[in-house]
Amino acid sequence: MGRVVRVLKLDSRSGRRHADRARALVAGGAGFLGSHLCQRLLADGYEVIALDNFHTGKRCNLAGMARDASFTCIKHDIVDELPADFAVDEIYNLACPASPPHYQADPIHTFKTSVLGSINLLELARRRNAKIFQASTSEVYGDPLVHPQPEGYFGNVNTHGPRSCYDEGKRSAETLFFDYSRTYGIDVRIARIFNTYGPRMRPDDGRVVSNFIVQALRGKDITVYGSGTQTRSFCFVDDLIEGFVRLMNVPLALQHPVNLGNSVEFTIMELAELVVDYTNSRSRIVHRPLPVDDPRQRKPDIAFARQYLGWEPKVTLNEGLARTAAYFETLLGNGRPLAAKRSSRLSLREATAP
């Protein structure tokens, strides 16, 4: 599968091919979110360059775009310096592992990716006078004492725990982006992403939706950490990518990050039960100790995104779980149709969604 992706060396051949098209650089372009963003930008008429070191990104995520003449994939780690003559108009920085098992596997490189990688991309934006987007995270709020979390909340974070390489790396990146904006006048856009799920997540991703679906499809115990009363708000990937594009295209640069996520809140136990129902699985739900610094509540205040971007999620959890489970069903090769059931709990919850 990887052979169909044109992986090029990073050199001066990356100059613009079509003067009438904007060129977008997507760092982390082979990842879960990055590949969906590349696909959307191509559909919107951009030339797209995907940068990825392929530590967690997969070439198969880009296979459908590989033969598009407007698409180029380059193997490169943004921790390493980018060439000065790299020609781009817009930059999206999605280059960082986002699931705890992956970002904790090499915490120092994770932090370097957020900090040194951001500096390298910001320097490129400064040289090219390019607009630049940073994928930040709801993890910057830590284990929040304010609920739901508005953009003005400074968070309740542990600076030296096992999750800190990611949380603090993203907080540092936000600082760098706004300092570059104030110092050099760069047009920066920052999105704080809340729990997102959908096709192209890895089976070993380690995040709750993919974990539960894969465990259910394999007939294994579904592992709930802690009591399961902790909450999350789940946003389908297509909705999130729409938020990225709207944030990048709003005429005036904003002077603060913007929350992007679903404002409908579920407990982890509710999600586990829904996945069991939906996949018609015989898996048992079992409990394990809660990891260090795992947030008890997570729900975005998206009033700003609604008002200024005209954005809010459209895909219900029922629809999103159907599409995600179908993806994993095909990926895992189970060869049996899903016996989908719409839970009464889910129907009630989504009927009251804003």
pLDDT at 19: 54
pLDDT at 333: 86
Burial of 178 (0-12, 13-18, 19+ CB in 10 A): middle
What is the CB neighbour count within 10 angstroms for residue 40?
16
Please name which of 120, 164, 116 lies closest in space to residue 142, comparing C-alpha atoms. 164
Annotated catalytic residue within 46, 103, 166, 180: 166
Distance between terminal CA atoms of the chain?
A: 41
CA distance 272 to 257: 31
Answer yes or no: 197 catalytic.
Answer: no
Task: Map residue 66 onto helix, strand or coil.
Answer: coil
**How far is residue 265's CA from residue 244's CA, in Å, rounded to a whole number?**
21
- Residue 339: what residue type? A
CA 88 to chain centre: 22
Fold match flag (2-194+237-260 vs 208-232+263-298+315-351): no
Describe the chain by its helix, strand, coil percentages, rounded to 5.
40, 15, 45
* Domain residue extents for the chain: 2-194+237-260, 208-232+263-298+315-351
User: Quick check: 239 and 303 in contact, CB under 8 A?
Assistant: no
Query: Are the beta carbons of 248 and 313 closer than 8 angstroms?
Result: no
> pTM to 2 decimals?
0.90
Could you say which of 3.65.10.10, 3.10.105.10, 3.40.50.720, 3.90.25.10 is the CATH number of the domain covering 208-232+263-298+315-351? 3.90.25.10
Q: What is the largest CA-CA distance in the chain?
A: 58
CATH of domain 2-194+237-260: 3.40.50.720
Residue among 294, 293, 289 at smallest CA distance from 226: 289
Q: What is the pLDDT of residue 14?
A: 43
Q: What is the pLDDT of residue 252?
A: 86
Peptide bond into 148 cis (omega under 30): yes
Q: What is the pLDDT along the chain (354 residues), one digit of tens a residue?
A: 333 344 443 333 344 445 578 999 999 999 999 999 999 999 999 999 999 999 999 999 999 999 999 999 999 999 999 977 789 999 999 999 888 888 999 999 999 999 999 999 999 999 999 999 999 999 999 999 999 999 999 999 999 999 899 999 999 999 999 999 999 999 999 999 999 999 999 999 889 999 999 999 999 999 999 999 999 999 999 999 999 999 999 998 889 999 999 999 999 999 999 999 889 999 999 999 988 878 889 999 999 999 999 999 999 999 999 999 999 999 998 645 444 444 444 444 553 344
